[in-house]
Amino acid sequence: MLAKRIIPCLDVKNGRVVKGVNFLSLRDAGDPVEIAKGYNLSGADELVFLDITATLEARNTVIEMVQRVAEQVFIPFTVGGGIRTVEDIREILSAGADKISLNSAAVANPSLIKEASDRFGSQCIVIAVDVKKRPDGEGKTSGLKESEASGRIPGGADPAFPSGYEVFVSGGTVPTGLDAVEWARKVEFLGAGEILLTSMDKDGTKSGYDNTITRLIADAVPIPVIASGGAGSLEDFYDALTEGGAGAVLAASLFHFGEISIMDLKEYLSGKGVPVRKISPALFRWQQMKKDSLGLVPAVVVEDSSKEVLMLAYMDFEAFELTLETGIMHYHSRSRGKLWKKGETSGHYQHVCSARIDCDMDTLLFFVDQEGAACHTGAHSCFFTDINDM
């Protein structure tokens, strides 16, 4: 069985992450790039960014944000909002996004879905579907053939909406007259690779996902459905993935404000028998450490044979992970702002013998076999100057 995905959603307005209730009453949640960096190291499987203002004037801001996120994040991320043309899609994918999300533009011009899918591949095309339950009764199409469902409307539901749910666009402000399940079938036929399904009735309420419409759509289409809107507890995620049949669950405020951690959620789901992508041992260890304002941890390096202190350097997660994986010391160069493999140019590699961390979980200690000099000056150790000689 495919692993179920955990996806934080970042609603972006004027370059900031915001969150509200029922698409209203927005409050600031932080800088999108900094939040994305945190999620990249939290065990999140993917990220979704939605530009909820989606004005043409904001396009350059969105492209810049995508570029900055792509530099910092190593998990797939989707960008949506204000995308109207194939050229818009090309720009966002070229800036570093892995997928794009269409909503209002897909309803206004369904052929855009096919055109985009043909050009970029269905794996890049996510169709966001915002739905509300109809007030005139709930239909049911689950388990029925399409021809049967169109003529069988239990509970007195409006025949125009056999599922009992209507699609909305323009940030949930404009009803479309489209039935949710029928629209889901159509976008899949046109080439959508995934459906991001948001219950507007549930959005921000923390009362649980709408598993009725999630299951209806999951049963109606062969592509993954991402459940969105209403998560309030660990059980809500489990219910959406099992009762709702979702392939992934998306949430915002619960993650943004630290009410539920992705690591705790994955442990809970795994314990309930739901397959999830495991957090790597390196990532688990890194999550326990205290970092400085740049997200770095200092590493003291000692020669294993002589116990002489050789140097002090800094690690980000990438350097820490590669050090553990390869057994050769890697660091983050603060001056150059990039990964640094010790000995890559000089041949003076440092081979890891063992590693420790201090009681405050904010400083690493590595014992290494040193090839040649540790210091760039050619000295064996960087600590060759007596402080009295300064």
Tell me how far apart the alpha carbons of residues 213 and 197 are, in angstroms, rounded to a whole number.
Answer: 9
Q: Where in the chain does DSSP place strands (E)?
A: 5-13, 16-21, 24-30, 47-51, 77-80, 99-102, 125-133, 165-169, 174-179, 194-199, 225-228, 248-251, 297-303, 309-315, 330-333, 338-341, 350-357, 364-370
pLDDT of residue 28: 56
Angle between helices 32-40 and 59-72 (to 10 degrees): 30
Q: Do domains 5-279 and 287-389 have the same CATH topology?
A: no
CA neighbor of 74 nearest in space, from 351, 321, 314: 321
Catalytic residue annotation: 11, 130
Domain ranges of the chain: 5-279, 287-389
pLDDT of residue 54: 58
Domain 5-279, CATH number (from 3.40.50.300, 3.20.20.70, 3.30.70.1710, 1.10.150.20): 3.20.20.70
Q: Which CATH code for domain 287-389?
A: 3.10.20.810
Tell me how far apart the alpha carbons of residues 337 and 117 are, in angstroms, rounded to a whole number.
Answer: 37
User: Which tokens hold the place of 94?
Assistant: 């070229």
Q: Are 48 and 7 in contact (CB under 8 A)?
A: yes
Partners of 165 in the β-ladder: 133
Tell me how far apart the alpha carbons of residues 187 and 352 are, in angstroms, rounded to a whole number.
Answer: 52
DSSP 156: G
Partners of 357 in the β-ladder: 364
Partners of 300 in the β-ladder: 312, 365
pLDDT in tens, the chain (390 residues): 689 999 999 888 777 776 544 444 445 556 888 888 888 888 899 999 988 765 445 566 688 889 989 888 889 999 998 899 999 999 999 999 999 999 999 999 999 999 999 999 999 999 999 999 998 755 444 433 443 343 334 444 578 899 999 999 987 889 999 999 999 999 999 999 999 999 999 988 899 999 999 999 999 999 999 999 999 999 999 999 999 999 999 998 899 888 999 999 999 999 999 999 988 888 888 988 999 988 899 999 999 999 999 999 999 999 999 999 999 999 999 999 899 999 999 999 999 999 999 999 999 999 999 999 999 999 999 999 999 988
Gyration radius of the chain over CA positions = 25
Alpha helices in 77-141 (DSSP H): 86-95, 104-108, 111-120
Tell me how far apart the alpha carbons of residues 328 and 342 are, in angstroms, rounded to a whole number.
Answer: 8
pLDDT of residue 60: 61
Global pTM reads 0.75
**Identity of residue 336:** R
Tell me how far apart the alpha carbons of residues 13 and 23 are, in angstroms, rounded to a whole number.
Answer: 12
Instruction: Report which secondary-structure segment, H or E, holds 262.
Output: helix 262-271
CA neighbor of 246 nearest in space, from 259, 237, 234: 237
